[in-house]
Every structure is written in C-alpha cells, then in structure tokens.
C-alpha cells in the first residue's frame, strides 16, 4: 500500500473510530486537545472531579469562571472550540460505576488513561482485558513521565508486576512516640476525621494504652495524670462525642490534645528512657507568655513557619470555622478533609506543628505540610503536553494495525549518553504468574482464619488489595457455600463472623467473582498464627519490604501521576533504561492519598538487552523500582517515604 493510501486509510480511521479518554485533568486536557486537532471525531471522556483553582496553572482547558464545574463537561466544551465538528460525549461520573460495564468498553477501538489513582487504573486495566480493547497508560511527575501500551495476550497488563503493599506506621508510633514530622501530619489528619469527619477506629488519636513498649499499670498512672477538664476523658466516649459535649471549644480541645494527653503519655515511663520526653503545652501559659501578634516572616505566606502562639491562634480559628461548617450542614453531618479547603488545611497545619513542637521537632511551613498531607506531586504543564503527544502517537500506531511497533516510552529529566530525553523500550510479554491477566488467575493468601472476619476479606483483601469492585465469593467445599454476595443485604450476617466459622482452614480454596470486571480469582488460604503485629494478611510470593539500595539522586524519587490529587503508578513495564536513563517510579494513591503509605520496594533483577526503537542501538533495561498507591512525601532525612490516603 502506498504512503498516500496509508495516510488516507488512517485519516478515515480517525474520523470513524470511537475512543475513550479516562480522566480530564493534567494529562487529560492536553490529550483531548491533541485528539481533536489530530482528527479524532468520536471521543467519549469521563471524569468524576470538579475544577479547582489549583488546576488552572496546568489544565489549560479550564478558566477561573469554570471553578466548581465538571471537568469532563468543561473539557468537552473547550475542546469543541478547536474542532466544532467533533462528536464528544462527556460523563461526570466514576469509571468504576457499574453502568460502564464490559459492553460499554467494547464500543471503543482504543482506551486512553489519564488517571491519578491506582484503584481506577486497576479497574480500567481489567475492563480493557475483558473487552479485549487496547489500553494506553500514562503518567507524569515533575520532569519525568512515561507512556505504555497494554494489549491482552501481547503485553504485560497494568497489574502484571506486583505493587508493594503500603508501608504504614504502627498506631502506637502515631499516637505515642512520633519521631518524624510525617507522623504528626498523619495524626493531625486522623484528628480531623475524628472531630469533624467520618470516625474510624483505626485512626484513633488518643494515647495508646496497649503500646507494647510501655510496661505500666494504667490504674496507677492514670491517677497521676492530671486533667484540666473532667469531661475531657475521651477514653470513655468517642473523640467526636467529647468534642460535641464541649461545644467544639477550641481552648478545651487544645488543652486536652496538647496538655492532658501529653501528660498522660509522660506517665508511661518506659517510653522515655531512651527518647526525649514530650513537653506539654498550656493555652493559658502560652497566652500570658507569647505576644498576641507575631511578626510574619519573609517570603510567601504558605512558606512561612509561625511561632508556637501563631499556630495556637491558627488552631483556634480553624476549629471555629470548621465548627460553623459542621453546624450549617445539620445534625449528623460530616466534613471531608480536602487539601484545597483552607480551614481544613489550617487545622492540619496547626495541629501537626503543635505536636511537632511538643515532641522537639522542627516545625514545617503550610506548604510543606500540604505537600505531605495532600499527596501533592510537582506538576509541570510541558511534561503533561509531551506525554499527551506520545499517547496520540502510540494511538496512531494501534489504529494503523502496527501494535508490534508500540513501545513503553520514558521521558527523563536529563538527556542520556545518546543525548535523548525520550527513551523507548520494547513492551514486555504478559507475566505467567499475573493474578489478573493469566488464563486462570490464582493467588495464595496467608492469614489467620480465626481472626480474619468476612468483612476484612471483602474490603481489605478483595477490594483494596486485589482491586475488585463488587466481589461474590464461594467456598470450594463441595457444597457451593456462598460466603460473600454482591447483592445488598444477602450475606450481611456473615460480615462479623470469622473465616474459620465457615469451615475455612489451611488449604481451603475460595472462588471470587466480579461480574462487572468479568474477572474470577481463585484464592488458596494458608492459615498462620505468626503474622506480625498490625499485619492482617500476606500475599505469598511478594516481598514488598525488601527495599533497594538508597538512590544517590534523591530528586529522581518521585511519584508518577498526572499531576492531579492522587498518585499511582502508570507503567506496566518492570524495566527501566540503563543507569544514565534511570527514572524511579514511586507509586502511591493520590491517593490522597493516603489513603494512602509506602516504601520503595521491588528487587532489582538481572539486566538484559533490548533494541532501541529509535536508533536500532542496544539499550539496557533493568527492573524498575515501584512504590505503593498513594503519593509519596519524603521525611526529614529522606530515608523513609510515606503515602497518605
């Protein structure tokens, strides 16, 4: 076929082929513009988010007048100005809505992801596998980025390479012995939820009396811990109930959190034998001692670090504002923490800094706190533009029937030895052991059948760990016992029971089906009573805690996201270019998240050679270093990386 005929054929394909864009944020805006200008005429775009002021510096399809409106709808309207003849359908919705089933995905010849969280990426990956539709994955972080193609039976899927579980700090560290600013920021976010949001027993902020380090007698020491408010004993009632009983009085809250609870911690003598003991704060003393108005420092407001009294006043103001917001919403209302909500951000900034001061840490600016608490990854508009352009180029190869010429392409910060910023790598074949795209997906899970509840299996293991949306679980016991049903209320009575109550024991097998994803997973249960403290289960064969050697260039340790709220790992390739091309993918979700807390993990394997797509030269690729589903924020010494949900 002549070159001109190929171009005519491709132009015809562009005008008739229906494509789906998932996400209308940093990459999504650039991608939508590129598609209509390239000649794509039938486009559907879906995004759950609304436009925020913080989006305007890089998501150029949006303007100030659009703040608060649907991203998908405004992106459609703006893109149509480039090409009024295009047929664009916008959905202000979650791609995980059951309405977008396998039949929905089969309408498209190509799906392009511009997402910012792992859960949605996992889901779209599975839907494209079920529908047998090519998927183009992408992500950016600062100057770094990458694009890859996923095709059932030909390439690795998004989940072929195991993602390490999140590294979470033990509750006793958060509640009793914080040693890094991130511990205090996590505590402050927990506190926000306990006071104003949805209460979670796993996010308690009061002193942990079960701390294994503290060998002490609670009855004896409690008597020594003086409390300024008799009704401030939050051990008897929930934190929210106690706060309501005080009318959300900011000074009572302050003294309870930063004085009484700290004095209670001091009674746990053994905790402070090898640590510097915390120093309680008293509102009245600070008010008498500190100036009522502190002179603001130099520089931008968000980058200033206030004094102790400054954070006391900020705490008071934010509590009063949040209390008013809660009252306006009515009885039983809850607030949702948002990094872009000033009172919520003020609350976390002030509470975290006051706790840092108590535990003798250097306090942080609002900007630094927001970066860690809000899972913010640096977003550069030009990086998004380059990656969006690469997505379209890979899409054109797919429409031309040249899937074999598709590549995983890495965008680096600095040129490699061949003076390239863009490094293409051959796509890897599917992993035989993948628990998603294998012909018969199987996995082995180690847990304690006498302590693992059915609800834990459903929410923590099947939904959170294995990415299912609405699982049905049957025990392979010869009777076909239904353990979990996706039909509401059908197996609700089972939720609080333990797996052992249903005859599940070492070696038992469960069949988990998700009909929305057209996905079945066989689970072999290994019973154990030797799991570490705070570990509910382990997936056999994964080693998420084996971290690689420290990186010499800390700048390269960034989460690959599309510059939106949460982070997630875009690549399905387990390989990276040679040393001089190296970029590290640190996965976390945005996970805002975050949700959701992960340390760099995944063993580095043997190097192997692949032909460079652009030059025919040979380039070395090595397994890439991955990280968890929420955004990564380095601690003071940059040794630990945590992601917040």
Q: Each residue of 405-433: pLDDT tens digit?
A: 999 999 998 898 889 999 999 999 999 88
Binned at pLDDT 50, 70 and 90, residue 241 comes out as confident
- CATH number at 199 reads 1.10.10.520
pLDDT surpasses 90 at 103: yes
With respect to residue 570, please indicate whether it lies within any of the assigned structural domains.
no
Binned at pLDDT 50, 70 and 90, residue 559 comes out as very low
**Mean pLDDT for the stretch of residues 241-248:** 86
Q: State how beta strands 442-447 and 482-484 pair.
A: unpaired
CA distance 177 to 268: 11
Binned at pLDDT 50, 70 and 90, residue 237 comes out as low
* Per-residue confidence (pLDDT) for residue 62, from 0 to 100: 96
CA distance 110 to 89: 15
* Per-residue confidence (pLDDT) for residue 337, from 0 to 100: 87
The residue segments making up the domain with residue 19 are 3-164+378-426
* Per-residue confidence (pLDDT) for residue 578, from 0 to 100: 34
pLDDT in tens, 438-458: 989 999 999 999 999 999 999
Binned at pLDDT 50, 70 and 90, residue 585 comes out as very low
In this structure, the answer to whether residues 184 and 298 fall within a common structural domain is yes
| pLDDT top residue among 228 and 262 | 262
Of 3-17, 120-134, 469-483, the range with the lowest mean pLDDT is 3-17
Binned at pLDDT 50, 70 and 90, residue 214 comes out as low
In this structure, the answer to whether residues 181 and 268 fall within a common structural domain is yes
Binned at pLDDT 50, 70 and 90, residue 436 comes out as very high
In this structure, the answer to whether residues 500 and 536 fall within a common structural domain is yes
Give buried/exposed letters for 295-327 (b at 16+ CB in 10 A, else e). Answer: eeeeeeeeeebbbbbbbbbbbbebbebbbeebe
Q: What tokens were used for 342? A: 């000033």
With respect to residue 616, please indicate whether it lies within any of the assigned structural domains.
no
Q: What tokens were used for 195? A: 């006071």
What percent of the chain is modeled with pLDDT above 90?
52
* Per-residue confidence (pLDDT) for residue 266, from 0 to 100: 92
Of 47-61, 90-104, 313-327, the range with the lowest mean pLDDT is 47-61
pLDDT surpasses 50 at 607: no
* Per-residue confidence (pLDDT) for residue 210, from 0 to 100: 62
With respect to residue 552, please indicate whether it lies within any of the assigned structural domains.
no
Q: What tokens were used for 454? A: 């059915």
* Per-residue confidence (pLDDT) for residue 612, from 0 to 100: 35
* Per-residue confidence (pLDDT) for residue 298, from 0 to 100: 57
* Per-residue confidence (pLDDT) for residue 8, from 0 to 100: 73
In this structure, the answer to whether residues 463 and 322 fall within a common structural domain is no
pLDDT in tens, 609-632: 333 333 333 333 333 333 333 333
Binned at pLDDT 50, 70 and 90, residue 595 comes out as very low
In this structure, the answer to whether residues 193 and 341 fall within a common structural domain is yes
pLDDT surpasses 50 at 566: no
Q: What tokens were used for 99? A: 């309405």
pLDDT in tens, 325-344: 999 988 878 998 888 889 99
Give buried/exposed letters for 514-551 (b at 16+ CB in 10 A, else e). Answer: bebbebebebbbbbeeeeeeeeebbbeeeebeebeeee
In this structure, the answer to whether residues 150 and 187 fall within a common structural domain is no
Contact 161, 569 (CB under 8 A): no
CA distance 156 to 50: 33
In this structure, the answer to whether residues 152 and 186 fall within a common structural domain is no
| pLDDT top residue among 84 and 232 | 84
Contact 136, 111 (CB under 8 A): yes
Binding-site residue ranges for ATP: 23-28, 47, 55-58, 71, 94-95, 116-121
Of 201-205, 429-433, 507-511, the range with the lowest mean pLDDT is 201-205
Give Cα separations from 8 to 15, 151, 401, 493 (angstroms): 11, 25, 14, 61
Give buried/exposed letters for 356-394 (b at 16+ CB in 10 A, else e). Answer: bbbbebebbbbbbbbbbbbbbbebbbebbbbbbebbbbb
pLDDT surpasses 80 at 213: no
CA distance 633 to 567: 11
- Count up the domains in the chain and report the number: 3
Q: Is 508 helix (H, G, I), strand (E, B) or coil?
A: coil
What are the backbone dihedrals phi and psi of residue 622, each rounded to the nearest 5 degrees, phi first? -130, 155
Q: Is 454 exposed, middle or buried (0-12, 13-18, 19+ CB in 10 A)?
A: buried
| pLDDT top residue among 587 and 365 | 365
Contact 79, 31 (CB under 8 A): no
- CATH number at 15 reads 3.40.50.720
With respect to residue 389, please indicate whether it lies within any of the assigned structural domains.
yes
* Per-residue confidence (pLDDT) for residue 299, from 0 to 100: 63
- Sign, CA torsion 345/349/352/355: negative
Chain mean pLDDT for the chain: 79
Instruction: Provide the 8-state DSSP code for 161.
Output: S
Tell me which residue has tokens 């659009």: 66
CA distance 15 to 86: 9
With respect to residue 350, please indicate whether it lies within any of the assigned structural domains.
yes
Question: Which candidate in 29, 172, 184, 425 is catalytic?
Answer: 172
CA distance 252 to 255: 5
* Per-residue confidence (pLDDT) for residue 292, from 0 to 100: 56
Contact 511, 474 (CB under 8 A): yes
Tell me which residue has tokens 């949605």: 120
In this structure, the answer to whether residues 194 and 321 fall within a common structural domain is yes
* Per-residue confidence (pLDDT) for residue 535, from 0 to 100: 84
With respect to residue 230, please indicate whether it lies within any of the assigned structural domains.
no
In this structure, the answer to whether residues 155 and 206 fall within a common structural domain is no
CA distance 445 to 174: 28
Binding-site residue ranges: 23-28, 47, 55-58, 71, 94-95, 116-121, 157, 160, 434, 437
Binding-site residue ranges for Zn(2+): 157, 160, 434, 437
CA distance 408 to 618: 15
Please calculate the CA angle 435-572-407 and round it to the nearest 5 degrees: 135
In sequence order, the β-bridge partners of residue 91 are: 46
In this structure, the answer to whether residues 532 and 391 fall within a common structural domain is no
* Per-residue confidence (pLDDT) for residue 50, from 0 to 100: 87
CA distance 189 to 235: 20
Please calculate the CA angle 523-527-533 and round it to the nearest 5 degrees: 110
- Sign, CA torsion 209/214/217/220: negative
Tell me which residue has tokens 């270093």: 625
Q: Which alpha helices (H) appear in 330-365, and where do they start and end?
A: 342-358
| pLDDT top residue among 344 and 603 | 344
pLDDT surpasses 50 at 142: yes
With respect to residue 33, please indicate whether it lies within any of the assigned structural domains.
yes
In sequence order, the β-bridge partners of residue 87 are: 42
pLDDT surpasses 60 at 275: yes
* Per-residue confidence (pLDDT) for residue 528, from 0 to 100: 93
- CATH number at 463 reads 3.10.290.20
Number of Cβ within 10 Å of residue 109's Cβ equals: 17
With respect to residue 547, please indicate whether it lies within any of the assigned structural domains.
no
pLDDT surpasses 80 at 546: no
In this structure, the answer to whether residues 262 and 391 fall within a common structural domain is no
pLDDT in tens, 372-404: 887 655 678 999 999 999 999 999 999 988 999
In this structure, the answer to whether residues 217 and 338 fall within a common structural domain is yes
Binned at pLDDT 50, 70 and 90, residue 63 comes out as very high
* Of residues 257, 263, 255, the one with CA closest to residue 222: 263
Number of Cβ within 10 Å of residue 552's Cβ equals: 6
Please calculate the CA angle 154-160-161 and round it to the nearest 5 degrees: 135
Give Cα separations from 395 to 99, 317, 615 (angstroms): 26, 51, 21
**Residue 386: which H helix or E strand, with range?**
helix 381-399
Does the annotation mark 83 as catalytic? no
């Amino acid at each position: 076929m002549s070159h001109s005929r190929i171009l005519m054929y491709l132009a015809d394909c562009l005008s008739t082929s229906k494509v789906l864009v998932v996400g209308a944020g940093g990459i999504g805006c650039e991608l939508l513009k590129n598609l209509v200008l390239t000649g794509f005429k039938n486009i559907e775009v879906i995004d759950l988010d609304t436009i925020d002021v913080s989006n305007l510096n890089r998501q150029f399809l949006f303007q100030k007048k659009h703040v608060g409106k649907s991203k998908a709808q405004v992106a459609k309207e703006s893109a149509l100005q480039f090409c009024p003849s295009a047929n664009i359908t916008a959905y202000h919705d979650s791609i995980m809505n059951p309405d977008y089933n396998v039949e929905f995905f089969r309408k498209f010849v190509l799906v392009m992801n511009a997402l910012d969280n792992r859960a949605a990426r996992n889901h779209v990956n599975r839907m494209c596998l079920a529908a047998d539709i090519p998927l183009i994955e992408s992500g950016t972080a600062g100057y770094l980025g990458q694009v890859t193609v996923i095709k059932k039976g030909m390439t690795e899927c998004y989940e072929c390479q195991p993602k390490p579980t999140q590294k979470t700090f033990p509750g006793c560290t958060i509640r009793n012995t914080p040693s890094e600013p991130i511990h205090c920021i996590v505590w402050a976010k927990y506190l926000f939820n306990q006071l104003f949001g949805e209460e979670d027993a796993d996010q308690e902020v009061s002193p942990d009396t079960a701390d294994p380090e503290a060998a002490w007698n609670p009855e004896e020491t409690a008597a020594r811990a003086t409390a300024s408010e008799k009704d401030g004993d939050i051990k008897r009632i929930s934190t929210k109930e106690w706060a309501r009983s005080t009318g959300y009085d900011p000074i009572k809250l302050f003294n309870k959190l930063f004085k009484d609870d700290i004095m209670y911690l001091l009674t746990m003598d053994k905790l402070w034998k090898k640590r510097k003991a915390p120093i309680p704060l008293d509102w009245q003393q600070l008010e008498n001692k500190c100036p009522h108005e502190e002179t603001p420092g130099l520089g931008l407001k968000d980058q200033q670090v206030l004094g102790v009294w400054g954070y006391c006043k900020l705490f008071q103001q934010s509590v009063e504002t949040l209390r008013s917001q809660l009252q306006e919403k009515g009885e039983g209302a809850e607030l949702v923490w948002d990094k872009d909500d000033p009172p919520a951000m003020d609350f976390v900034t002030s509470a975290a800094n006051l706790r840092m001061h108590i535990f003798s840490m250097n306090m942080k600016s609002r900007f630094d706190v927001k970066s860690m608490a809000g899972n913010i990854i640096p977003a550069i508009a030009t990086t998004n533009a380059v990656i969006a352009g690469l997505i379209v180029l890979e899409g054109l190869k797919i429409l031309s029937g040249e899937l074999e010429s598709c590549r995983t392409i890495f965008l680096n910060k600095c040129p490699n030895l061949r003076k390239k910023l863009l490094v293409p790598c051959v796509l890897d074949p599917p992993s035989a052991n993948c628990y998603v795209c294998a012909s018969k997906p199987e996995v082995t899970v180690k847990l304690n059948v006498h302590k693992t509840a059915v609800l834990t299996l459903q929410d923590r293991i099947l939904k959170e760990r294995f990415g299912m949306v609405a699982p049905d679980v049957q025990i392979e016991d010869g009777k076909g016992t239904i353990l979990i049903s996706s039909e509401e209320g059908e197996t609700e009575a089972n939720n609080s029971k333990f797996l052992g109550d249903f005859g599940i024991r070492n070696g038992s097998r469960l069949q988990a089906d998700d009909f929305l994803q057209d996905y079945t997973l066989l689970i072999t249960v290994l019973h154990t009573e030797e799991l570490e403290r705070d570990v509910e289960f382990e997936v056999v064969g994964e080693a998420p805690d084996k971290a690689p050697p420290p990186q010499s260039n800390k700048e390269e340790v960034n989460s690959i996201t599309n510059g939106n709220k949460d982070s997630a790992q875009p690549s399905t390739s387990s390989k990276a270019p040679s040393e001089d091309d190296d970029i590290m993918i640190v996965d976390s979700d945005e996970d805002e998240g975050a949700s959701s807390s992960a340390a760099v993990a995944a063993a580095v394997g043997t190097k192997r050679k692949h032909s460079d797509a652009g030059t025919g030269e040979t380039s070395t690729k090595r397994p890439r270093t991955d990280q968890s589903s929420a955004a990564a924020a380095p601690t003071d010494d940059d040794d630990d990386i945590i992601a917040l949900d």
